[in-house]
Amino acid sequence: MRWLRRGRRLSTQLLAGQVVVLVLAGVVGFALLARTVHSQLDRQYEQRALAIASATAAMPEVIDALSSKRPAQVQPLAMSIMHSTRASYVVVIDQSGIRYSHPNTNLIGQKIAEPVVALDGRTHVGIDHGSLGYSANGRAPVLAANGQVMGEVSVGVLETSFADQVTGELTSFGLYLAVAVAVGLAVALLLARRLKRQTFGLELDEIAALVQEREATLHGIREGVVALDSGGRIRLVNDQARLLLGSTLWDAGRPLWEVLAPGALRELVEPAAPDVADRIVLHAGRFLLASRRRVTGGGRDLGAVITLRDRTELEDALRELDDVRRLTDALRAQQHEFSNRMHVMSGLLELGHYDEAISFAVQIDGATAGLAAELEARISGPRVVALLVAKTTVARERGVALIVVCDSHVDIDDRIADALVSIAGNLIDNAIDAATSGPVAPDAVRAVEVRLAQGGQELVLDVSDTGPGIPTGGVESIFIGGWTTKAQDGGPHRGIGLSVVCHAIEQLSGHIEVREGCGARFRVTLPRARQQAAHD
């Protein structure tokens, strides 16, 4: 088992692959080399045989013997030429195919089985696989003085040196192959070491297992994960991140800030952005808890990993709980104020001041009903009126005077009433908090003014306070999720109210203006044309 495991090592596989490739290349190269050498030897020996045949055919003794039909004088000459040139045979044949010479004397005077090919007056070469062995053959015509073909001379040269030449070539090729294998092994070892460093010492099966585990983990978790390289380009995006970010342009190698719309999340993924943990951001109508952590390895910057958690449902639940808490505070304030008034009424009745008790009761009823009646007369949206009445009570409980001003009748469509309640509620709550944290002086008045106006095609909401105001230069960042001037007490995330306000205004195609300096002022303008279209 240990040997099998070693056989799967990356270095072993590289070495084995390198050896197999080199051996295959050597076998193919040797086959091609042997074929080339064989062809060259054939051509060389064919030309050698033809040269001997041509020289023999031009000898006067051969021409005279064929013309006079005297074969006896040809055999000694042919044997002499055969021994001097180391040819395997020198055969002189007349035009009728009768042999005048042959190494086997018994065949002299006999007719050859094949036709005399040189009767056409041209030379011929070829390979003869005869009884003497593998030989190259050359045939030349014997010509009379008048140019008439009288016969042919056939010479064969045995290729005895072929094996010796191939052996020499094979030895050289074997040395070359050995050097190539050695170089290949060295390169494979160096490549294996480099790959080891790049893969942190993991083997191929371990890398494959990690990839499978990564795919199963990244695409199975409910957190969005985005991996970036050192240049801020996308390397990996899991399914949950695609769902949360809502973009379809997730091409690998594309800078992430080009994919995202301008906003807090885009600033978080800039290459120079610092590491952050659990920053709440509002993106595409979702509350996301974003974290960014830079990744390093071996002292090198490898990029960054961004994780995203969807807190939309939780934030909505917390905001509803916060609304319930505020309503409870308003009811508690009303109950506290009602108890005080009942104590006054009880004391007046016990003292017998019945007329004054009746007058006090009428005064209380008129003050409470007067505000609600006045707001209902000028504002057509009951939800907005209920919000303003409740916020007035809460503000009075906290020592802040909430002043509502409506110079004209305001018509609020039911379809945008919820958005306007969210916008006004967040701005008024922030204004009350700011007014209570303002400078304390004996004659200081802590107040919040809410002004609603409607004219032409616009609905305008103004919320101002007597608090410390927006810091100079802070207008650009107050609508980013997580921006707050309140202390983080470990409870729900703060600093998302203005992000919600900004998102709601964008949904209604409106805009918001902010005044810096002492005493903040927010002016929200909503187009009435959208209200009219929604109402229709």
Q: What is the DSSP letter of 72?
A: G
Q: What is the DSSP letter of 136?
A: E
Residues 236-282: tens digit of each pLDDT:
788 777 777 776 566 666 777 677 766 667 777 776 777 777 777 77
Between CA 350 and CA 341 the distance in angstroms is 14
Between CA 506 and CA 498 the distance in angstroms is 12
With a cut of 90, say whether residue 152 has pLDDT above it: yes
Residues in a beta bridge with 309: 289
pLDDT attached to residue 330: 63
Residues 421-474: tens digit of each pLDDT:
888 888 888 888 888 876 555 566 788 999 988 877 788 899 988 888 776 665
List Cβ neighbours of 174 (8 Å cut-off, separation of 6 or more).
Answer: none
Short-list 135, 130, 124, CA closest to 93: 124
Mean pLDDT for all residues in the chain: 76
How far out from the chain centre does Cα 228 lie? 9
Instruction: Fill in the amino acid letter for 506.
Output: E
- Assign 139 a pLDDT band (cuts: 50, 70, 90): very high
- Tell me what the mean pLDDT of segment 400-409 comes to: 86
Short-list 379, 489, 384, 397, CA closest to 435: 397
Short-list 361, 342, 359, CA closest to 350: 342
326, 429 Cβ separation under 8 angstroms: yes
pLDDT attached to residue 121: 87
290, 268 Cβ separation under 8 angstroms: yes
Crossing angle, helix 414-436 and helix 528-535, to 10 degrees? 140
Beta strands 447-455 and 401-406, pairing class: parallel
With a cut of 70, say whether residue 363 has pLDDT above it: no
With a cut of 90, say whether residue 153 has pLDDT above it: yes
Calculate what percentage of the chain has a pLDDT beyond 70. 74
pLDDT attached to residue 1: 39
Rg, Å, the chain Cα set: 54
Q: Six-digit token pair at 47?
A: 């030309």
Burial class (CB in 10 A: 0-12, 13-18, 19+), 143: middle
Between CA 428 and CA 403 the distance in angstroms is 11
pLDDT attached to residue 93: 92
Burial class (CB in 10 A: 0-12, 13-18, 19+), 114: exposed
Between CA 88 and CA 98 the distance in angstroms is 19
With a cut of 50, say whether residue 133 has pLDDT above it: yes
Residues 180-230: tens digit of each pLDDT:
778 877 887 787 778 777 777 777 777 777 777 777 766 667 788 888 887
b/e 479-512 (16+ beta carbons within 10 angstroms → b): bbbbbbbeeeeeebbebbbbbbbbbbbeebebeb
List Cβ neighbours of 108 (8 Å cut-off, separation of 6 or more).
Answer: 71, 75, 99, 100, 101, 102
Residues 373-383: tens digit of each pLDDT:
788 888 888 88
Residues 81-132: tens digit of each pLDDT:
989 988 888 999 998 889 899 888 888 888 888 888 888 889 998 887 765 6
pLDDT attached to residue 529: 45
